[in-house]
Amino acid sequence: MKIEPDKQFIASPERLAMFLKQYNLVFMDYTEASSGIENSTLITTTKQGKFVVRVYRQGKKSLSDINLEVNFINFLRENGIKIPEILQNNNGAYITAVELEDMVWRAIVMDFIEGVHVESYTHRLVTELATTQALMHIQSSSYHFHDAAHIDELIELRDKFFVKQIDHSKITNTLLDDFLQRAQSYVVSLDKHLPKGLCHLDYDKENTITRNNSLAAVIDFDDLAIAPFVVCLSYTLWHVRQQSGKDMVKHYLSAYESVRPLSELEKSYLQPIMLFRHYFISSIKILNNHLATYEVNKYLSLEAELSN
């Protein structure tokens, strides 16, 4: 499901060729990535090789927001994090704008990294993901926020979008309806003393590329925001828990803390934030009619675990 489909870029060979021309790249073919709900990501073949074109949906990000994303990605790459390189266009800019039918579309073009999104977590991969996330948080602590003054800090976690779109008249399971009521009212207030900085906020196996069961690249910084690092970490831990169980969460946390130890304050937030993430992602799934009995049971059982 794409958010606000009417504001998404509709790809075509002619449209992509207009973007690529500004990089002296000759378009040949493309496929659209199936993952991602915010923007259009297009794996594009040119005479010069493969590249990824990412076109931002209308109204999602201002030019300042995209500049911040680009600058932070470049900062992390310069500090050794494996992230695809963003190309500069013929004008030396990282962001390319094309006007089509009275609408301006902004895009970035990145190197294509060979690899896959793994189906399941392994101990080896979890170790690498965790230590890389910890390093990103450490480096973010030293990033100068001169280009982030326009961004509000995340001070609470509350779903203001997805859960409210669910049509409760279609929910026939009273236990699930109660679950959604709890999801809508759940709020996590974030202590101002929590260490914070720019965070990926969607760091998991879906937004990393692996090759030979090793991390090849971190991708998709679209959710980048100023937030406590424990929020970013807890979001990832929820995904690991949901995919691979409690033991893998312990392994991930141990590997993360081998690089960046958590304070007691941060540790106290891990479970409440994981519960928020559970409500948030479950609401998206329910909105997309994931209502089978086994799915409902998973929503409820993991909620019970994270509530204790």
CATH number (domain holding residue 188) = 3.90.1200.10
As to burial, measured by CB atoms within 10 angstroms (0-12 exposed, 13-18 middle, 19+ buried), residue 148 is: buried
Q: Are residues 95 and 71 in the same domain?
A: yes
Q: Are residues 17 and 104 in the same domain?
A: yes
pLDDT score at 2: 62
CA separation for the pair 288, 210 (Å, rounded): 28
10-residue mean pLDDT series, the chain (308 residues)? 77 95 97 81 96 92 92 96 98 95 93 94 96 98 74 91 89 95 97 96 96 94 95 98 96 98 98 98 94 96 96
CB 197 within 8 A of CB 229: yes
pLDDT score at 39: 87
Q: Are residues 131 and 102 in the same domain?
A: no
Torsion, Cα of 213, 217, 221, 223 (10° steps): 10
CATH number (domain holding residue 78) = 3.30.200.20
Domain stops at, among 54, 77, 111: 111
Q: Are residues 60 and 127 in the same domain?
A: no
Q: Are residues 292 and 146 in the same domain?
A: yes
